[in-house]
Structure formats: structure tokens, C-alpha cells
Amino acid sequence: MGGIEDTGARRPPPCAPLPQTTTTPRTGQRALRRRADHLTPQGLSAPLEHRRRRLCSRGAGGVTLCRAADGQSARPPYSAERHIATLALMSSPAAEETRALHERHAPSLEAFEAVYSHSEIVWRIAEELLNSRNDTDIDRDLVRAGSLLHDIGVYRLYGTDGNLDHKKYVRHGLLGHEILAAEGLPETLCRFCSCHTGVGLTRDDVLCQQLPLPPADYLAITEEEKLVMYADKFHSKTTPPKFLTANAYATYVSRFGHDKVDAFTLLRKTFGEPDVHALAAFYGQALTE
């Protein structure tokens, strides 16, 4: 998830000022299409219906996303061995493979929509930041794959009632690492999950905040890991989802200590800032400033 939900169990003090949230009006053709999408008589927008059909036709491991008319699972036979053998060869799976992973692990269409849409936005932000840089040492394909997969562990936190377990949310990174490792993906990719929370979690953070994680450092090390972690801070999967400015996130993260503010400041200097006003308008989502 985005930055607001990523930084652990601590809550703001009672008097802490909350960032001001403004709703950016939906503008442009995309926003108009979105409005029209939600007026279809089936109760699902055209894109959602399309995705539902794709989910049904592709199937997922362990979770029945839809059923055929006879009540049996509509999922086709699935070769886990072949899938793992294929993924093991991928250091940077393409967008289609990452999407297939989401579809396989999402417990519901709603969860898929929330997590995958956010992941696509994180990639868009990271891509914008990459495009603004002159040095091109960063592995673009790896950033894309990391962006699209970093939150896959969130699916494990949905209960049978469809609700997210917010108390254990901080575990989603580690859970995502486990999912990708079980899928046969390399450590290089797994680390995007376990090392993107907040601006990095240290062993001291885990112990002092009594986080439900094995005591260890969960820190972004490579430039690719840092970029995905940073891009993630500008969008949140809250209901409804929203964008955040860099100042809004800096205000938020200040409750976790000056060292976290300093770490975020360094990331801002390193990667610059995305145009979140334009992004919020494009996606028709709120912006916290």
C-alpha cells in the first residue's frame, strides 16, 4: 500500500495536525470515461467486468474468484510446476506475468482492484521519476517489476469477511517476500516486498515499536529498491485511494522520528518529486497536500 498505511503500528499523538485533504475534480476524457463506466446496468464497470472475465478465465491458485453456472469452479487446470519453472527464469518478469501473479493470489476482485491498481500507479510514478533523470544506471525493467509486485503480500491480510487486517498490515512486505519466494522468483525481486515499508524499517524500529515482524533490518539497499519504496509514498490504497504530496508524506512520517524525515528528505533530493497534482487529476483521485 501507499505510504500512509506502510509505516507500522504507531498512531499520531492526539494533537498532531492532520494533512489537509482536498478532492481534485475529475477532468479530462479519462475521468469522463470513468464516470460512464460506473453507470453500466450490471453494476460493474466495463473495465471491471473485463477484468472479472479475465480472472475467471485465467484462474488463480487456491482462491475461487468465480463459479460456472453449475456451481463448479470455472478455473481451468493449472500447472504449478510449469509456472514455477517459467518464473524462476525471470529476473524481471513482464507486466503480464506480474499481473498473472496478482490474479493468482488475490482473494477477491475487490482486493485485486485495490492492490493492482495501486501497483500500476506506483510504477507510473517511478517511471516519471526515472524519465526525469539523466543517469540511466537504474534497471528500468527491474523497477517496473518491483513496483508491480511490491504489495502482493497485502492479499494475505484479507480475512474471509473480505476485510483487511490493519493491525497486521506492517507484515504485508514480509508476506509478499514469502509469496514471491514460493513462486520461485529471485531474492532480487522478493526484496522489493520486504524492504519498501515506510522509508525502511530497522531492527530497532521493530523492537521499539513492537511490530509483528522478526527483528531485522528491512531496508532498501539498491537504487531500484529505493526508487520503488519512494514512489510508493505518493499514493495510498485507502478507501477511496488518494495521492499525497511530498510535504504531506514528510508530515506523516515525522511522527516516527527525525531519522525518518531525514531519510525521506534524502530520497526527495535523490529522485526528485512526481507531479502528483497531474496524476490525481488524471486518475480522478483525491490529493492530500
Can you tell me the distance from the alpha carbon of 280 to that of 26, in angstroms, rounded to the nearest whole number?
A: 8
Q: Which helix (H) or strand (E) holds 117?
A: helix 109-131
Q: Shortest approach of Fe ion to residue 29 CB, angstroms?
A: 27
Q: Shortest approach of Fe ion to residue 136 CB, angstroms?
A: 25
Q: Of 28-36, 54-62, 145-153, 161-169, which segment contacts Fe ion by CB under 5 A?
A: 145-153
Can you tell me the distance from the alpha carbon of 62 to that of 51, in angstroms, rounded to the nearest whole number?
A: 19
For residues 1 and 201, which CB has a smaller minimum distance to Fe ion in the complex? 1
Q: Shortest approach of Fe ion to residue 172 CB, angstroms?
A: 9
Q: Binding-site residue total for Fe ion (CB under 5 A)?
A: 3
For residues 205 and 232, which CB has a smaller minimum distance to Fe ion in the complex? 232
For residues 151 and 183, which CB has a smaller minimum distance to Fe ion in the complex? 151
* Residue (of 158, 162, 151) closest to 120 by Cα position: 151
**Strand pairing partners for 235?**
243
Cell numbers at 91, concatenated = 529476473
Q: Of 33-41, 91-99, 146-154, 167-175, which segment contacts Fe ion by CB under 5 A?
A: 146-154
Q: Of 85-93, 124-132, 209-217, 225-233, which segment contacts Fe ion by CB under 5 A?
A: 225-233
For residues 104 and 235, which CB has a smaller minimum distance to Fe ion in the complex? 235
Q: Shortest approach of Fe ion to residue 71 CB, angstroms?
A: 36
Segment 177-206, which members bind Fe ion (CB under 5 A)? Answer: none
Q: Which helix (H) or strand (E) holds 288?
A: strand 286-288
Of the candidates 97, 128, 151, 205, which one interacts with Fe ion according to CB under 5 A?
A: 151
Q: Shortest approach of Fe ion to residue 157 CB, angstroms?
A: 13
Of the candidates 107, 148, 232, 243, which one interacts with Fe ion according to CB under 5 A?
A: 232
CA torsion through residues 33, 117, 110, 71, sign: positive
Q: Shortest approach of Fe ion to residue 150 CB, angstroms?
A: 6
The total number of residues shown for the chain amounts to 289
For residues 75 and 237, which CB has a smaller minimum distance to Fe ion in the complex? 237
1 binds Fe ion (CB under 5 A): yes
Can you tell me the distance from the alpha carbon of 232 to that of 150, in angstroms, rounded to the nearest whole number?
A: 9
Can you tell me the distance from the alpha carbon of 140 to that of 201, in angstroms, rounded to the nearest whole number?
A: 25
Can you tell me the distance from the alpha carbon of 286 to that of 280, in angstroms, rounded to the nearest whole number?
A: 6
Can you tell me the distance from the alpha carbon of 255 to that of 230, in angstroms, rounded to the nearest whole number?
A: 18
3-state secondary structure of 213: coil
Q: Which residues bind Fe ion (CB under 5 A)?
A: 1, 151, 232
